Structure formats: C-alpha cells, structure tokens
C-alpha cells in the first residue's frame, strides 16, 4: 500500500512540476516587464520635467532678441543690465546659444540664403539659435557660403 501511495504522489508531482516551471517563467517575465516599465517611466518623466518650460523659454528668446536690438540702438545702461539679467536666467534654466562659428550644421541651423564665401561655412548670423540642454529650442538662421567668389560670378 505504501508503494502505491508513493507512485500516485510521483505522478501528481510529475504533473505539477511543468506547471510550476511555467508559472515561475511567467513570473520572471512579468517582473522583467515591470522593471523595464519602471525604468522607461523614470526616463520619460525626467524628460518631461527637464523640458517642461521649453515653450516659455522660446517666447523669452524673442523678447531677448528685441532687448538686444534695442540696447544696440539705444545705448542705455539699464537695457544692458536687463539683457544681462535675462541672459543669466536663461543660462540657469539650461539655455545655451548654438555655436555659429564654422561649418553649417543642418541640425541646429536654418540656411536663409547662400552668399559669396567658403563653401558650407557660416558667413553671417541673421538670428541666433538656442538649445535647452541637448534639444534645439530655436535653430540659428544663417547665411552660408556657396563656394563661389565675386570674380567667379562676374
């Protein structure tokens, strides 16, 4: 009788083992999916926080441009002080100016026109561009050299 019970228990155990393994595998996959979801949520939420004020900062850049133009025309110390305070705030928020010395970069600049000069080199900056951390807030508008000189065109 004892051997008969052991045989029955072994048959039950043989049926249960694959189910347990299957459930353990499903649990491991579910835990991995949850960990990935948690990681992705953390990355996305930090990006949302990092760039939440990008629209406001873009609007402030237009105001900054107007103040800069006004301070060039009206040589008032108060305008220069306001402009410098605004620049300080922008830097504190992570805004940096796009570098426009050197070759044209289509990722951070818009070519408004081409002019005489070294091919693909920035000749003139029409409007400065800015980044918020690594993301472009506003591309720089530039004039790019065509590679032709004034003598070649004549």
Q: What is the CATH number of the domain that holds 101?
A: 2.30.22.10
**Per-residue pLDDT at 12:** 65
* 101, 128 contact by CB (below 8 A): no
In this structure, the answer to whether residues 36 and 82 fall within a common structural domain is: no
Which residue range(s) make up the domain with 29?
1-50
The number of distinct structural domains making up the chain is: 2
In this structure, the answer to whether residues 87 and 43 fall within a common structural domain is: no
In this structure, the answer to whether residues 80 and 30 fall within a common structural domain is: no
Tell me how far apart the alpha carbons of residues 139 and 130 are, in angstroms, rounded to a whole number.
6
The more confidently predicted of residues 52 and 150 is 52
pLDDT digits (tens, 9 = 90+) for 26-85: 999 999 999 998 988 888 887 777 888 889 999 999 999 999 999 888 888 888 899 999
């Amino acid at each position: 009788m004892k051997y008969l019970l052991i045989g029955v228990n072994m048959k039950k155990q043989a049926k249960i083992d694959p189910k347990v393994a299957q459930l353990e595998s499903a649990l491991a996959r579910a835990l991995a999916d949850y960990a990935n979801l948690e990681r992705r949520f953390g990355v996305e939420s930090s990006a949302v926080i990092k760039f939440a004020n990008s629209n406001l900062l873009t609007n402030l850049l237009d105001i900054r441009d107007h103040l800069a133009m006004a301070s060039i025309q009206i040589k008032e110390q108060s305008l220069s002080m306001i402009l410098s305070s605004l620049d300080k705030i922008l830097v504190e928020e992570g805004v940096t100016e796009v570098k426009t010395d050197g070759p044209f970069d289509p990722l951070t600049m818009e070519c408004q026109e081409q002019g005489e000069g070294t091919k693909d080199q920035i000749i003139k900056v029409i409007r400065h561009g800015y980044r918020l951390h690594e993301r472009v807030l506003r591309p720089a508008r530039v004039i790019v050299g065509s590679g032709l000189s004034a003598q070649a065109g004549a």
